[in-house]
């Protein structure tokens, strides 16, 4: 067997391996991405989340929050009594009682509040995609995106990873695969911040601790608003993609995947809060061994 034949066999083997890898990613990743990115109130109704939060004032984290609220009230009462002798300025009783009443109502309604916020956020992102689906006559989601990508980069049901199309396909597949980790982390963080909702509201009772609540709500908003940003990016991607198999369309796909990867970081820079971007570059991986 001459060297040309050996190189041809090696090339075909590598192409087959990568085609199988990309096919596995395509068949398993993108439906999961749609579920993790476009979340709604259903994440509250798993086996334990609603029980952890508490469905009544005497259960779950709501019960702990009510106990701490009582502790804050006792602390204020003692502090107010001592202020008579120390002449330190303390919040007036009617102001404290008013805040106590509002915060108490919010704490005991925290499950309902979280449920409605998640559903409203889902409706906003869903409305953006619904507008695109009506105008473009196609579904706007990750599963449909990969179908369009494969239409461009698979020629006669085959892929050459050493070609320009193969390089772009490799970038898009691994780029979208990294999104899976980023939005899996976001999914967990949303559930975490939902769980601590009753506790975060307590810190509004005292002006010196109110910054904790502000940090919490900023983080929650940054985690939720990314859902609408992703919907807008997908809408733009599908509106710019033509069925012409040309270089421009392929480069649009590269820019689209990069925009989806960096959307989390850009949202964090604009609105503040938590960024759940997972870095996959070599420079960051070298620290894993330290």
**In angstroms, rounded to a whole number, what is the distance separating the alpha carbons of residues 241 and 252?**
7
How many Cβ atoms sit within 10 Å of the Cβ of residue 286?
Answer: 9
Q: Which residues pair with 155 in a beta bridge?
A: 158
Mean pLDDT, the chain, as a whole number?
A: 77
Residue 228 has pLDDT above 50, yes or no: yes
Q: What percent of the chain has pLDDT over 90?
A: 6
Which of 11-15, 24-28, 212-216 is predicted with the least confidence, judged by mean pLDDT?
24-28
Tens of pLDDT, residues 76-90: 888 888 877 777 777
How many Cβ atoms sit within 10 Å of the Cβ of residue 214?
Answer: 13
Residue 286 confidence (pLDDT): 38
Of 156, 175, 177, 157, nearest to 167 by C-alpha is 175
Region 117-121: what's the mean pLDDT? 92
**In angstroms, rounded to a whole number, what is the distance separating the alpha carbons of residues 125 and 290?**
41
Residue 116 confidence (pLDDT): 92
**In angstroms, rounded to a whole number, what is the distance separating the alpha carbons of residues 110 and 162?**
54
Cα 239 to chain centroid distance, Å, stands at 23
């Amino acid at each position: 067997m001459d060297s040309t034949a050996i190189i041809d066999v090696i090339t075909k083997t590598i192409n087959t391996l990568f085609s199988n890898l990309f096919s596995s990613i395509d068949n398993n990743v993108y439906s999961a991405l749609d579920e993790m990115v476009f979340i709604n109130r259903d994440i509250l109704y798993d086996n334990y989340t609603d029980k952890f939060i508490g469905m009544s004032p005497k259960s779950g984290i709501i019960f702990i929050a009510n106990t701490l609220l009582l502790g804050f009230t006792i602390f204020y009462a003692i502090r107010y009594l001592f202020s008579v002798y120390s002449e330190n300025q303390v919040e007036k009783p009617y102001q404290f009682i008013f805040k106590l009443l509002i915060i108490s109502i919010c704490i005991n309604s925290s499950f309902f509040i979280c449920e409605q916020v998640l559903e409203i956020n889902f409706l906003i992102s869903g409305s953006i995609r619904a507008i695109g689906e009506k105008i473009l006559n196609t579904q706007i989601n990750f599963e449909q995106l990969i179908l369009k990508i494969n239409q461009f980069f698979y020629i006669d049901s085959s892929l050459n990873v050493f070609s320009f199309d193969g390089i772009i396909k490799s970038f898009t597949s691994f780029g979208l695969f990294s999104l899976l980790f980023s939005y899996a982390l976001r999914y967990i963080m949303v559930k975490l911040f939902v769980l601590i909702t009753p506790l975060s509201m307590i810190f509004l009772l005292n002006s010196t601790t109110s910054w904790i609540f502000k940090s919490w709500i900023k983080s929650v908003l940054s985690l939720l608003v990314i859902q609408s940003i992703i919907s807008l990016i997908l809408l733009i991607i599908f509106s710019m993609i033509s069925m012409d198999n040309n270089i421009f369309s392929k480069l649009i796909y590269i820019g689209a995947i990069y925009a989806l990867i960096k959307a989390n970081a850009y949202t964090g820079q604009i609105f503040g809060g938590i960024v759940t971007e997972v870095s996959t570059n070599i420079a960051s991986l070298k620290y894993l061994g330290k």
